[in-house]
Structure formats: C-alpha cells, structure tokens
C-alpha cells in the first residue's frame, strides 16, 4: 500500500527508465509511493529494472537502506511498456531523452492518456522551456518543470519551473511533493532555457571543452585544477562524461537558440564526439575511458 504524501499524491508515473528516470522512480518508491515507469521496448524495460535493482543493492551495501527497505522499494516499482500504463497516475514525470520534438509528442500523448484532468504532467528537462511543452496539452495549467539532478538518489536539489500558464495550485503541489514527499530542497526558477543551474553550469563546461580543444591543458590538469584549486567535487570534463556529452550538447543548443550568446554555443569538439558516439560513462568513453 502506498503512503500518501502531504498533498495526497500516491501514484507517480515516470516516462523513461534511463539513468534519470530510474533514479527518480527509486526516490519515489523509497518515499513510499506507487511508481510505474513507462519504457518504449521490453529490452529497455529490462535494463531499467536492472538499474533500479543495482542501485538499491548499492544502497544496502553502503548502509543507506536495509534489506527490507530495499525489497519494499523494489516492490513499489513496475516497469511497463507503453504510455498507456500511466493512465491512472496523479503525477507523471517525463524523463525522456533531451529532444524537444520527442518531449512534445510525449506530452501530447500523455494529455490524451492520463484520465484525471487534474493530474499533473511534469518534465525533468534540463533546458527546454516549459511553456512549449504546456501548449502541447489541453491542461497547460497542470504542466510544470520538476528538474532532478544526477544521480537523483543522492542529489538533494530539485528545480521547480512554472510556465506563464502554470497555476499556483500546481506549483504548490509539486513543491510540497518534492520537499515533504521526497525530502528534497527546492529552488524555484523562471521558465527560461537552462533555468538556474544549467544556465550557470553549461557555459562553464563548454569553456573547459574549449580549453582542452585549444591544447591549453590536458583533461587531467583541467579537472585537477578545478578540484584542487576551487574545491569542486568533480572536474568539468569528468562531469561532462557523467552527465553525457549528448545531453550537454542538447542543453547548450537549446540555450544558444534562446539567447544567441556565443558562450552557449557547443564547441566543435563536443559535436564531433557526440557524432562519434563518445558520450561519456554511458558508452564507456568520452574525455576519459571507462571499464
């Protein structure tokens, strides 16, 4: 049985079971909520199930969860194929690939599938304006950005981004859901590409790529400089590998399209690496090579 949050949300849907989607699903399940993850194919669903199981096993090994708690969380998550599985959800969080056309289709489809007209449709996008997603539905007042950070099971921050059409009731509900329901810290951002964190982070990451591309320093020296010189927990190029070079390029392109400022433009090296499939940790090679 699901434990209700302070705002009454007990049934959560997640679109996409990748790194972010599976993490969001786990956070919700460990908070006592009933979670359905929608994937497009059965092999992707299997991968999502394995991802959650591995993460929960890691939590047990590190002492952050007991065997019983991990088993209960696992039992609250169902990974199914197709968006139809989300029809009865009170809150659906879209965590699909950072592609605007794909996300627009997801929101159009969810609007027709999710039966409760007052259900909230949220996006975990890191850069796409929420208003573009809202107008793809017939419930723009119930569409909002709820942006988690990677890994969602560890990072405490959630950005809440209302569009000009989002109702205050919707904002209050998702803020309460994130804070009291999931134990996260919330920052509220305006509906502008990149919101708060990525509007600051992406130019920094792109500057590191340009420095490496120009041959001013090695990847190791750039990263060590920021870790040891500025007390960052991770250097920018290792962070790029963790986030995914394709995700970073998509975010940069979205912000460059909105602002037209050169520091948001993806460097040529970043684009060539994405085209070559060197996306970072998820492909085993980016600025570094991984086992």
Residues in contact with 160: Cβ distance below 8 Å, sequence separation at least 6, in sequence order: 144, 145, 146, 147, 171, 174, 175, 178, 186, 187, 188, 189
How far is it, in rounded angstroms, from Cα 206 to Cα 264?
A: 8
Which pLDDT tens digit goes with each residue over 46-83?
999 999 999 999 999 999 999 999 999 999 999 999 99
- Please report, rounded to a whole number, the percentage of residues in the chain having pLDDT higher than 70: 98
User: Where does the pLDDT of residue 121 fall: very low under 50, low under 70, confident under 90, or very high at 90 and above?
Assistant: very high
4 pLDDT more than 50 = no
Task: Give the number of residues written for the chain.
Answer: 291
Q: Is 126 a catalytic residue?
A: yes
Q: Tokens at residue 257, please?
A: 């399209």
Residues in contact with 140: Cβ distance below 8 Å, sequence separation at least 6, in sequence order: 131, 134, 163, 165, 166
Q: Is 147 a catalytic residue?
A: yes
As a whole number, the mean pLDDT across the chain is 94
CA atoms within 13 A on the CB side of 259: 20
Active-site residue, selected from the candidate residues 31, 38, 198, 254: 198
Active-site residue, selected from the candidate residues 31, 147, 163, 250: 147
Q: Is 263 a catalytic residue?
A: no
What number is the average pLDDT over the span 137-149?
A: 97
Range in 6-10, 66-70, 277-281 with the lowest mean pLDDT: 6-10
Domain range summary for the chain, segments of one domain joined by +: 6-188, 198-283
Q: Which residues pair with 94 in a beta bridge?
A: 15, 123
- Please report, rounded to a whole number, the percentage of residues in the chain having pLDDT higher than 90: 91
2 pLDDT more than 80 = no
Which pLDDT tens digit goes with each residue over 232-252?
999 999 999 998 999 899 989
What number is the average pLDDT over the span 3-11?
A: 71
DSSP code for 98: S
**What pLDDT was estimated at residue 1?**
44
User: Where does the pLDDT of residue 6 fall: very low under 50, low under 70, confident under 90, or very high at 90 and above?
Assistant: low
Element (H, E) at 33: none
User: Where does the pLDDT of residue 128 fall: very low under 50, low under 70, confident under 90, or very high at 90 and above?
Assistant: confident
Active-site residue, selected from the candidate residues 26, 98, 159, 253: 159
**What pLDDT was estimated at residue 164?**
97
Q: Is 141 a catalytic residue?
A: no
What number is the average pLDDT over the span 251-264?
A: 93
* Cβ proximity of 149 and 157 under 8 Å: yes
**What pLDDT was estimated at residue 5?**
53
Active-site residue, selected from the candidate residues 38, 123, 126, 127: 126
What number is the average pLDDT over the span 33-44?
A: 97
| 1.10.150.120, 3.90.1300.10, 3.40.50.970, 3.40.50.720: CATH of 6-188 | 3.40.50.720
CATH architecture of the domain with residue range 198-283: Orthogonal Bundle (1.10)
Q: What is the pTM of this model?
A: 0.87
Q: Tokens at residue 280, please?
A: 């970072």
């Amino acid at each position: 049985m699901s434990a209700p949050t302070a705002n009454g949300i007990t049934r959560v849907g997640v679109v996409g079971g990748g790194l972010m989607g599976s993490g969001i699903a786990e956070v919700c399940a460990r908070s006592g909520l009933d979670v359905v993850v929608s994937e497009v194919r059965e092999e992707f669903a299997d991968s999502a199930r394995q991802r959650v199981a591995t993460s929960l096993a890691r939590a047990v090994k590190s002492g952050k969860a007991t065997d019983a708690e991990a088993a209960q969380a696992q039992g609250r998550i169902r990974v199914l194929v197709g968006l139809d599985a989300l029809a009865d959800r009170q809150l659906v969080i879209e965590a699909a690939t950072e592609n605007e056309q794909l996300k627009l289709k997801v929101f159009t489809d969810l609007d027709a599938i999710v039966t409760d007209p007052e259900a909230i449709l949220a996006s975990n996008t890191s850069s796409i304006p929420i208003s573009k997603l809202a107008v793809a539905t017939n419930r723009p007042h119930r569409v909002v950005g709820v942006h988690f950070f990677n890994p969602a099971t560890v990072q405490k921050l959630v950005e809440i981004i209302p569009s000009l059409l989002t109702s205050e009731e919707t904002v209050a509900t998702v803020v309460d859901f994130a804070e009291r329901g999931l134990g996260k810290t919330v920052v509220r951002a305006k509906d502008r590409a990149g919101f708060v964190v990525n509007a600051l982070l992406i130019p920094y990451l792109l500057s590191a790529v340009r420095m490496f591309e120009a041959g001013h320093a090695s990847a190791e020296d750039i990263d060590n400089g920021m870790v040891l010189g500025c007390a960052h927990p991770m250097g920018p190029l290792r962070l790029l590998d963790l986030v995914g070079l394709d995700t970073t390029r998509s975010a940069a392109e979205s912000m460059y399209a909105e602002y037209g400022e050169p520091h948001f433009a993806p460097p040529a090296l970043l684009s060539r690496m994405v085209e070559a499939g060197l996306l970072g940790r998820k492909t085993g090679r980016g600025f570094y090579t991984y086992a």
